[in-house]
Structure 1
Amino acid sequence: MKRRNLLLGGLGLGIGGTWLARPSIEGDGKHSAYFQQLNSLLHRENLARPTMIVDLDRLDHNIAEVRRHIPNDKTYRVVAKSLPAQGLIDYAMAKADTSRLMVFHQPFLNHFVESKPDSDLLVGKPMPIGAAARFYQHYQANAFDVGQQLQWLIDTPQRLKQYAQLAEAQQLPMRINIEVDIGLHRGGVKDPAVLAGMLKQIDAHPYLTFSGLMGYDPHVSKAPAILGMQEREGAMAQHRYHEFMEVWRRHNGGDGRSNALTLNAAGSPTFHRWYDNDTANDLSAGSALLKPLDFDIPTLANHQPALFIGTPILKVSDGIEMPIAPLIGQAQTGWNPNRRKTLFVYGGYWKAEPVSPPGLLTNPTYGRSTNQEMLNSNAQLQLGVDDYVFYRPTQSEFVMLQFGDIIAVRGGQIEAVWPVLPQGA
């Protein structure tokens, strides 16, 4: 064979191989029955703006799944940052039959002291001393007993000293929960000897009381499942927690009773791993109740996505008209059958991915926009201007705070409208 023919044949094989790797058409250009019901609901209510939606039936299912994995000898603590609306938190706490909240933001802390005076609040991260001082500046005495129902999280002897000085200045008792590092290495006490010294500091102070430990282990779910690595990481995290508990028992004169302590552990990816553990007695989960996209993980396989963004379509056109370099848009349209149409939607660039109709794509060349985001679809698109497309948030947390009131839906009807938590104070 001539060298020229060999080269042409190789080129042909290369082009053919590349052509075979082209994307295939995803979806039929229309909503499933589930999303069509949501589309009809938003049309009927004429919301006509980006809207955060919580599916109550799916939320109920997820709450039941969490409760199923928390035994009767352990308590369940709702993570407020993952459900940042008072109505949503009230609903979840009532369904889960718990009065315990984990709070990560000082304005939220002040809010819950007023709105949920019967709750048990654990701060979920070590707050700057300025944030703690600000909490007390805005705190107004009510039925909530700030000295008994609130636990501050402390991670170092230095921060403990700051809080001790604040307690003296306020002349108010403080319950101190100590963060311990059980493998995440994001912070917290690493050395059991340091914990022993902190326990002595607390005992020596007239306004401080030791209330328990907090160990967080989301890294366990990130470990590869092969060769038992995930199981080993989980066992190591629980062993580390047990080591810190032994420090407290020795400090307490060998008394192993811990029912008066809050021994908090876990999170949405790992709460089920602490079911049979005899150390932690207080398990936290928040995102597991809504299952945003980042929580599509094996440990939450039985949970259902319950959180969506619906936003109106503003414009629809054929192909992709790319400014400055129109050939790039033409090439994208020719190569990928899921880029045969262009949509611009109301808002965008959220921590979220489009999910309905299937096959919607953002355009990395055109760029993202928080005002009018470009999406591309296949030629079978059966939606038009003023119809809604749906995104699935990758997280709940801050994303849920960007849309104003959240609508809670059941069976194609709005059952409740929940304002999000205030950011000030």
Structure 2
Amino acid sequence: MYLEQLETPVPVVDLDRLAHNLDRMAAYATLHGLRLRPHVKTHKSPRIAAEQLRLGAVGLTCATLREAEVMSEVCTDILVAYPPVGAARLERLAMLPAGVRVAVAADDAHALDALSVAARLGHRTIDVMVEADLGMHRVGVTSPEKAVAIARQIDRASSLRFAGLQFYPGHIRAKVSEQDAALAQLGRDIAQYVDALRDAGLPPAIVSGGSTPAAWRMHEVPGVNEVRPGTYVYNDRTTAQIGACDWEDCALTVLATVVSVSVKGQAVVDAGTKALGREPLRAEGDGYGALLDHPEVIVSRMSEEHGILDLSRSAWRPRLGDQVRIVPNHVCIVVHLFDEIIGVRGHAVETRWPVAARGRASNRELDTVPQGPRAV
């Protein structure tokens, strides 16, 4: 089968570019002595997770319990980097396979009481990372003193184990070459937390940072010994715009068909918000995506099933029925919109795989409870 035979819109992944991206991050982490714990929120696929682990990742990072359940099929070391709040979430966390080491991130002492109960009921010990807010202002404790208080409570709980310090530098979105000041401040902030924990007799064995935009310079931040990037596997328009990858490293595109050329200066494709999402570009530029082969052509506006290509900055003119490949602004959202990914080399369709961890349903609801890691 070839691209021209696929019904659109559909996400396609260039397998050679994917392999390059996986190898590049694995090599970076190895070169700088960093533990690589990639976030699966981008690909949501055991197939790709297994390849990340084969290339040296120490474990996986998940955002949802659905992701954790699916990834427990291929991984024995999972961090759920999301506040462990709510009875249903805690029950699913405790029910993960017994052979899987489970860690969570926490920023509130009250959450630890319920987490400890869930761990005891699940007959397991749960590792807990204290999450610090170092600039994202989303979750995380806001002072070293609070971090120490939570770490002490974790240390006192028989079913919990203090595992280290975690942060997410999502506020660093400048171009990679312009991150010096932000990274220097990040290093100073981390030092305050690490020193406070060490002075309290609770030195963090792991200091874990995430985010693809800042991942390539995490080795410059003193104290950090683990990275949790996600987007790097596929990359996207935002990542390319800030210099965290080259345009040629964008492995996933949405294949779309030109369905109308009747209005001068534009073309309409069959990929709208239900295929591309509606996240604005978090970098210099506008629109909701750009064409892989004609990056000057952007998706300027959308409705649910229609995407409008702005041709005003290009001499290229598509014909009715032409296929185009759109690099989305934010690839993680796009993956979550589809059930399946198509793997290609050139124009040839070579393979396909399910987006197995999309959605929220539990494995028990889907009657696919994993018994432990398996080979993929």
Scaled by the length of structure 2, the TM-score of the pair is 0.81
Which stretch shifts more, 232-241 or 296-305?
296-305
Distance 2:6 2:215 in 1: 37
Query: 2:366: which partner in 1?
Result: none
Distance 2:90 2:137 in 1: 27
Cα deviation, 1:211-236, whole Å, max 9, x if unaligned, reads 1110121323338977xxx4232112
1:338-357 equivalence runs, <5 A: 339=265, 342-349=266-273, 350-351=276-277, 352-355=288-291
Query: 1:386: which partner in 2?
Result: 321
* TM superposition shift of 1:373: 3.4
SS at match of 1:314: strand
* TM superposition shift of 1:389: 1.7
* TM superposition shift of 1:271: 1.7
Query: 1:248: which partner in 2?
Result: 197
* TM superposition shift of 1:241: 1.4
SS at match of 2:212: coil
TM-aligned CA distance change 1:300 to 1:369, over 3 Å: same
Query: 1:120: which partner in 2?
Result: 77
* TM superposition shift of 1:49: 1.9
Distance 1:419 1:381 in 2: 34
Cα deviation, 1:272-320, whole Å, max 9, x if unaligned, reads 2221444121112121232201112444145721110101223333xx2
Letter aligned with residue 78 of structure 2 = L
* TM superposition shift of 1:408: 1.5
Distance 1:357 1:76 in 2: 32
Letter aligned with residue 167 of structure 1 = A
Which ranges of structure 2 fall in alignment gaps of 5 or more residues? 278-287, 363-376
Distance 1:247 1:268 in 2: 28
SS at match of 1:199: helix
Which ranges of structure 1 fall in alignment gaps of 5 or more residues? 1-39, 321-332, 334-338
Which stretch shifts more, 354-363 or 206-215?
354-363
1:39-50 equivalence runs, <5 A: 41-43=2-4, 46-50=5-9
Matched, 1:236 2:185: yes
Cα deviation, 1:254-285, whole Å, max 9, x if unaligned, reads xx6x5xx3321132111222214441211121
Does the aligned pair in 2 maintain the 1:270–1:299 contact within 8 Å? no
Which of 311, 331, 338 pairs up with 2:256? 311
* TM superposition shift of 1:344: 3.3
Matched, 1:190 2:149: no
Query: 1:75: which partner in 2?
Result: 35
* TM superposition shift of 1:54: 1.2
Which of 90, 100, 114 pairs up with 1:133? 90
Cα deviation, 1:174-204, whole Å, max 9, x if unaligned, reads 2111101223222211121112222221222
Higher helix proportion: 1
Does the aligned pair in 2 maintain the 1:362–1:376 contact within 8 Å? yes
Does the aligned pair in 2 maintain the 1:84–1:397 contact within 8 Å? no
Which of 8, 17, 35 pairs up with 1:58? 17
Distance 2:336 2:177 in 1: 34
Does the aligned pair in 1 maintain the 2:11–2:338 contact within 8 Å? yes
Does the aligned pair in 2 maintain the 1:291–1:306 contact within 8 Å? yes
Query: 1:87: which partner in 2?
Result: 47
Distance 2:243 2:147 in 1: 32
Matched, 1:219 2:171: yes
Does the aligned pair in 1 maintain the 2:144–2:192 contact within 8 Å? yes
Letter aligned with residue 104 of structure 1 = A
1:297-308 equivalence runs, <5 A: 297-302=241-246, 304-308=249-253
Q: Percent identity?
A: 20
* TM superposition shift of 1:50: 0.9
Letter aligned with residue 148 of structure 2 = A
Which of 304, 307, 327 pairs up with 1:373? 307
TM-aligned CA distance change 1:386 to 1:99, over 3 Å: farther
* TM superposition shift of 1:111: 1.4
What is the RMSD computed on CA atoms of the aligned residues?
2.8
Letter aligned with residue 164 of structure 1 = S
Query: 2:62: which partner in 1?
Result: 103
Distance 1:238 1:186 in 2: 19
SS at match of 2:342: strand
Number of aligned residue pairs: give it: 344
Greater Rg, structure 1 or structure 2? 1
Does the aligned pair in 2 maintain the 1:65–1:302 contact within 8 Å? no
* TM superposition shift of 1:360: 4.0
* TM superposition shift of 1:76: 0.8
Scaled by the length of structure 1, the TM-score of the pair is 0.72
* TM superposition shift of 1:406: 0.4
